[in-house]
Chains A and B, each alone.
Chain A
Amino acid sequence: MLNYLKPYLSRLRDLGPIIAVVAFFQLVVLHQPIPQFLDILVGLLFVVIGLTLFVRGLEMGLFPIGQGMAYAFARKGSVTWLLLFAFALGFGTTVAEPALIAVADEAAEMAAAEEVIGKTAAAMAAYAQGLRLTVAVSVGVALVLGVLRILRGWPLQYLIIGGYAGVVIMTVFAPREIIGIAYDSGGVTTSTITVPLVAALGIGLASSIKGRNSMLDGFGLIAFASLMPMIFVMAYGMTF
């Protein structure tokens, strides 16, 4: 019984800080009672159950499948198929991402308000659609680049620092209203299911290729996936 409950308890510990922060600010700083106490308790219980199931599912499903595909591709030895898979994974997981859809619609409204595009519904829908595709393509390209880096053993820091230098330079030239969206889009693309999958894929590849180190070469895919959208979105903003 205790063994069964143990993972739940350790996830409860993850929530400790949030509970403490909310209670402290509500009671001590704002001097207000906690509203709907029972709802909050049930909600916390749901969060704990959810986190526990999620972590168990990671170990059983997402990690093994990511790593397994990496081994299978390494055995097959076809770089083209591997890169195609990387692109499909990046594009496919991003294009339907709800957070991205919300951001794209918001960006279209902003562009219309700044009179960059027409204020018609059609123009805004086209702008939002274009932005969504741009971000999805950028994540696909990011994973292709990241996988290529693992295969070739390029050092990560030059690529990432070069990329960030590109972001800084483009910030100077990009239209003001797109910059915020661009910076935020880097964070939007790395969803809760994509991250474990991509991490397992990278580590699987690095450990199945001779001469690669899992720690040095296996990580870094997520960094590409959060960098590339910033560059692509600013470029998208500059084309209008």
Chain B
Amino acid sequence: MEWLALVWNTLLGTVKDVLPIVIIIFGFQIFVIRRPVPNLRRVLVGFAYVLFGLAFFLVGLEKALFPLGKLMATQLTDPGFIAGQSSHAAAGLDWDDYIWVYVFAAAIGFSTTIAEPSLIAVAIKAGEVSGGAIGVWGLRMAVAVGVAVGIALGTFRIVTGTPLHLYIIVGYIIVIIQTAFAPRMIVPLAYDSGGVTTSTVTVPLVAALGLGLAGTVPGRSPLVDGFGLIAFASLCPIISVMAYAQLSEWRARRKNSNGERNTD
């Protein structure tokens, strides 16, 4: 019962969030387009599914994953745990003593991205539009690998205290170079995938990790160093999605040239 009450409350919250969207859509539909919505009933049922789906999804996360994930983030960044893993704790901690933090960062970045609803939505659309040339699953894997690398790099940056803008600038330079060489079709999708990764599932867990780490590492301030993980999580998928397309193109080309050689 307590669970269902939670779902109901969350549902009311989601309805409130969606209200402006509904008002804008139907306002324009009625006053500007002045045509009935095609399949109105189906669309309304679809909206209801989305609302109920999000409510269940959020309550499930809130009750099951977030408490445990946040607890783990604090435990793994706890000075006691990190010193226990270190062979030279007395001499002070080095960046390599935080190895489990990086592994956890990558693993949690990867796994939360796979479950991210907005990424599922964009992947479905991309599969449809490309006529199946871009696989739904392949795109999601590519984005998830990007987020994993990004979050791991981000935690490394917090531990070492190197300036954020250096990483971001280098990242953008890589993006610019890749844009020139990657298959043209993938570029817009790659840029978009940077924006969809940081959403319902990823942000709360990653924020907990960043704040925990910035509060633990000597000389870091949660206010200044706690952020920035999100920036990594939106930059790295752009690189990994373009790399995925480049890799597939390269493999297809190699296969073709091998085939030609064999027929000689």
Interface residues of A (CB under 8 A from B): 14-18, 20-22, 24-26, 29-30, 32, 34-35, 39-65, 68-69, 72-73, 76, 81, 85, 88-89, 92-93, 95-99, 110, 113, 156-157, 160-161, 164-165, 168, 171-172, 176-177, 179-181, 183-184, 186-188, 190-197, 199-200, 203, 214-223, 225-226
A222/B228 in contact, CB under 8 A: no
Q: Which of A26, A40, A65 has a CB less than 8 Å from the CB of B64?
A: A40
Write out the residue numbers on chain B whose beta carbons fall within 8 Å of the beta carbon of A32.
75
Q: In the complex, which residues 188-222 of chain B have their Cβ closer than 8 Å to any Cβ of chain A?
A: 188-189, 191-192, 194-200, 203
Is B45 touching A61 in the complex (CB atoms < 8 A)? Answer: yes
Tell me if B246 counts as interface (CB < 8 A to partner A): no
Of B25, B169, B179, B200, the contact of A69 (CB 8 Å cutoff): B25
A31 vs B19: C-alpha distance when bound (angstroms): 46
Nearest-CB distance from B259 to chain A (Å)?
A: 26
A57 touches B46 (CB 8 A): yes
A41–B64 Cα gap in the complex (Å)? Answer: 7
Return B28 CB to nearest CB of chain A, in Å.
Answer: 5
Which of B21, B55, B61, B172 has the most C-beta atoms of chain A within 10 angstroms of its own C-beta?
Answer: B21
Q: A62-B121, A64-B39, A96-B16 are in contact. List 17 more A-B contacts (CB 8 A).
A: A22-B69, A40-B64, A43-B63, A46-B60, A49-B53, A57-B51, A59-B46, A69-B33, A72-B33, A180-B227, A183-B228, A187-B198, A196-B125, A197-B21, A217-B188, A220-B188, A225-B195
Q: Say yes or no for B95: interface residue by CB 8 A criterion.
A: no
Pick from B24, B58, B172: contact of A89, CB below 8 A: B24
Cβ of B108 < 8 Å from any Cβ of A?
yes
Of the candidates B17, B29, B126, the one whose C-beta lies within 8 Å of that of A98 is B17
Partner of B107, one of A25, A99, A180: A25
| B83 on interface, CB distance cutoff 8 Å | no
Q: Residues of A contacting B47 with CB < 8 Å?
A: 57, 61-62
Residue B8 is within 8 A (CB to CB) of chain A in the complex: no
Classify the secondary structure of A's interface with B.
helix
Per the bound structure, the CA–CA distance linking A70 and B226 in Å amounts to: 40
> What are 29 A-B contacts defined by CB distance under 8 Å?
A14-B114, A18-B112, A21-B111, A22-B65, A39-B63, A47-B57, A47-B61, A47-B64, A48-B60, A49-B53, A50-B59, A53-B52, A53-B56, A55-B117, A55-B124, A60-B42, A60-B49, A64-B43, A95-B20, A183-B164, A183-B230, A187-B197, A187-B198, A187-B199, A187-B231, A190-B196, A191-B199, A216-B188, A223-B191
A93 to B146, CA, bound (A): 27
Q: Select the residue from A42, A46, A89, A222 with max chain B CB neighbours within 10 A.
A: A46
CA distance A185 to B135 in the complex (A): 30
Cα–Cα distance between A47 and B226 once the two chains are bound (Å): 28
A96 in contact with B118 given A20-B111, A49-B56, A58-B50 (CB within 8 Å): no
Chain B interface, DSSP helix/strand/loop, else mixed: helix
| Interface contact A50-B56, CB-CB below 8 Å | yes
Neighbouring B residues of A81 by C-beta, 8 Å: 28, 32
Chain B residues closer than 8 Å to A203, beta-carbon distance = 125, 129
A190 contact set on B, CB distance < 8 A: 118, 195-196, 198-199
> Which 8 pairs, one residue from A and one from B, show the smallest C-beta to C-beta distance?
A61-B46, A43-B64, A50-B57, A60-B46, A57-B49, A46-B60, A53-B53, A54-B53
Residue interface bits B100-138, CB-to-A below 8 A is 1, else 0: 100010011011101101101110111001100000000
Q: How far is the CA of A156 from the CA of B20 in the complex (A)?
A: 29
A55 to B13, CA, bound (A): 20
Q: Given the complex of chains A and B, what is the CA–CA distance between A220 and B47 in angstroms?
A: 24
In this complex, which of B33, B61, B203 has the most chain A Cβ atoms within 10 angstroms of its Cβ?
B33
Verify if B250 is at the interface (C-beta below 8 Å from A). Answer: no
- The residue of chain A having its C-beta at the shortest distance from the C-beta of B180 within the complex is A157
> Of all chain A residues, which has the CB nearest B69?
A22
Assembly CA distance A98 to B165 (angstroms): 28
Taking a contact as CB atoms under 8 Å apart, the answer to whether A215 and B58 are in contact is no
In this assembly, does B76 line the interface, its C-beta being within 8 Å of a C-beta of chain A? Answer: yes
Interface residues of B in 29-86 (CB under 8 A from A): 29, 32-33, 35, 37-39, 42-65, 68-69, 72, 75-76, 81
Chain A residues with CB under 8 A of B233:
187
Shortest distance in angstroms between A162's beta carbon and chain B's nearest beta carbon?
Answer: 11
Known: A180-B228, A192-B117, A200-B125. A47 touches B21 (CB 8 A): no
B199 engages A195 (CB within 8 Å): yes
The reply to whether A161 and B175 form a contact with Cβ atoms under 8 Å apart is yes
A50: contacting residue among B55, B72, B81, CB under 8 A: B55
